[in-house]
Amino acid sequence: MVEQSRYWTIRRINSFNQGCNQGLVITAAREYFQQQFPQFSDVTVLSKEQNQLVQNLLLSQFKNQEHQIDIYQRAIAGLCLRCFVSYDILGAVRRLVSNFGLKYDFHVADILPLVLNDDGQSLIVLNDEGTSQQVLDGNGQPQHSSYNFFAVEVLRTFQRSLTSQSLRNWTYSLIKQNSELQNFLLREYGLCLVSDWALLNKAKPERLDGLNHLLLDAFHRVYRRDRRQQRQTGRCLEPSTAQLNEMLAILQASGVIINSPSELMRELRRVAELVRQERIWQQRGYPYYLQPLDKTDPDTGEIDPPDPNANVDSEEAEENEWLEFCREQLIDVFTWAIEQGIRDRMVDLQNRRRYAVFASQLIPGLRLFYCQSMSQRQIAEMLEMTNQTQVTRILQPKELLKQVRFLTVNTLLERILERAKEFGLIGVSQKPDYLSNLMEQVEVFVDDELFNQAIAELRSGTRNRSSQYAEYLCRYLKSLS
């Protein structure tokens, strides 16, 4: 059920507080709607079937599929639809904030101006090819528009005959794919909206090692091949069961045994998350190394090639290469350290006579603590433990964090030293001052990226556990269920 007034009332940004006002009535749009649909004059709310009839007619007029109407009518039909879509844009942004805002700490007012940019004052049509927006001048003549309205892009790209999505869902999809919004969320809040499959489709296997490299290589050999053969463009869909089974066979030939397509899906999503986090860290940068993210198509994951004329001296190039290596290794090391840290904690409980019986409660307890943000008192009740102190002694979240940090720092340092040997820096890497300084730099690097926020969360006692450490730990704990 849809109120008719949505077709002549536009939601706009309030210039005073960047919020959204209750809507501005567009008289020309209301008069045109009532002229086109006199059969609905006695109702204020349209049924689903009536609303679809209205949309189909207005879309055909706006896209010039009914050649008997003039350019002004096309523009007003589009204006009615722009009013309608403005509500869906606001709803889509609210949905996006509902899904990600709490975790990444952003609000509707932070991102709404990026997509709700139509004030309803200009008359817009599409060019004859339907590929670009044109604005009508004072004489009613179409002119090139230097400024594109997002609502018009929603209408321009929407083809009901080619998609099963409603206009509302199409709007949400385009908002998630909006490059300006994507870059803003990535840069300011560390949220990467690119899909797992788009990330994997264009990720570089040589940037990963071990099992991750083999998984990505198998994915490319099947998934990329099929996209090329089927001439698929745009959105990267989830791999089919047939594709996953073919990947399993390729991995088995390489000595990698994964038991089922569903298990392979989990592994591929894990690799995608590694790639995602690398992109986030690249975009957000480091205090001593700020590098913008490559421009990426949100649907295909295709990356613009680097500028071959970029002038980077040899010393800077060498520093960048080392930083790139550290960044890649940190992702892999950190994931392993979480798994190993929990294993170590489990073994420790099993070897303590008083607490061996509670070893099986470690994983459920950590899930409640990190994934459901429960207090230790609530966890004691859920797991039927004696008191809160017992929960603390079993979970020991501070000790677990210390162990994961220790494993991350030391393993990353080992990999850096191995790399130094490959570069012929063995003598330098064995000097005490070099090792001491390097250890300090690695600790600062790791703490800045992963552990400072997690430590602050535990010290403050907050139940809003949104650090990178908490996010990765929660994801691993969920994978064990």
Query: What pLDDT digit, counting tens, does each position of 178-189 carry?
Result: 888 888 888 787
Residue 280 has pLDDT above 80, yes or no: no
Contact between 66 and 44 (Cβ < 8 Å): no
pLDDT of residue 313: 40
| b/e burial code for range 435-470 (CB count within 10 A of at least 16 → b) | eeebeeebbebbbebbbebbbebbeeeeeebbbbbb
- Supply the mean pLDDT for the chain: 79
The token pair at 412 is: 């990353």
| Higher local confidence (pLDDT), 256 or 81 | 81
pLDDT of 371 above 80:
yes
pLDDT of 32: 93
Three-point CA angle 84, 86, 87, nearest 5°: 75
Beta bridge mates, 256: none
Range with the poorest average pLDDT among 136-150, 252-266, 392-406, 457-471: 457-471
Question: pLDDT over 70 for what percent of the chain?
Answer: 81
First-to-last CA distance in the chain? 40
HSE of 364, CA atoms in CB hemisphere, 13 A: 13
- Residue 253 CB burial class (10 angstroms; 0-12, 13-18, ≥19): exposed
Pick from 64-73, 273-282, 308-317 the range whose average pLDDT is largest: 64-73
